[in-house]
Structure 1
Amino acid sequence: MIFADLLSMVLRLAELAFAAIVAGLNGDYLHSVRGADSWQLGRHIYAEVVAGLSILFAIIWLFPFSGSFVHWPVDFAISVAWFVAFGLLVDWLNGSCGDVFDWRGIDFDGTASCSQFKATIAFAFLSAICWLVSAILGIYWVRRHTRAPADSAHYRRRRWYRSRV
């Protein structure tokens, strides 16, 4: 199952990269508004915490061991956390920079502008998708490599060449 190991490693690298991008862009915004009320910045703080946890777990589970597949519930939970962060950030943007996925007229001038917010939202969505695919791959791997316990009292396999008579 070398394909699953390689796919898992590629997904973990993508998760690590996307989380680092979100943490960097979001951290830059949080640094630029450091005097603001923390209640108003709750969405960004939540996204930063999710990015930090994603970086931690992606580094820990980056190595392709078969044990990394049994963590699919955590992968699914982090995927849900990323989808929540994506929704909160989209709701915060609230059309002030145009449509969320309208990338026309984006300029990268180094200031905390609409392009930075849209990039943060896009990479949060990509990270959520990668974590979800990791969870699905983990479910597939676990179901494929675990056998149901055969209870000999209730389950008895009949030989194909023996009849009931």
Structure 2
Amino acid sequence: MLTIHTKLVEAMLAQAHRDHPIETCGVIAGPEGSNLPLRLIPMRNAAQSETFFKFDAQEQLRVWREMEARGEEPIVIYHSHTRTQAYPSRTDIQYATEPRSHYVIIPTDYSYGEEIRSFRICDGMVTEERVRMLNSYESNLELAMVA
């Protein structure tokens, strides 16, 4: 199950709607081993496509190095689907290289539903999981939105 702060979900939704009709993408980092998403990092869709997303290779390297230096890992990897349901495509599955991450898909075509969906993708196997949204975390952890 993905447990995530409502403000992070709102930020992903806002980014997806700003970028529409291009698929949006990004990462939410959190402390290594915690499974707690805290720091939203919007990224550029290098494909600039309405049906496909790809992280810019240099930006991804910089973000992953920054996470490592901060003792973080990618808790959530997210992107939008602008013309299909919020379910991983074959390409999404092929490019899913972080087996511990939650893969969140944001629908921007509401004929396919309005809810974000989260998946675990490991060795080509896709498992949908529940999303639990909270208005606060139980500790004094701070959320961060990176511009």
Using the size of structure 2 for normalisation, the TM-score is 0.24
Q: Which structure has the bigger radius of gyration? A: 1
Q: Which has the higher strand share?
A: 2
Q: Does 1 or 2 have the higher relative contact order (CA < 8 Å, sep 6+)? A: 1
Using the size of structure 1 for normalisation, the TM-score is 0.22
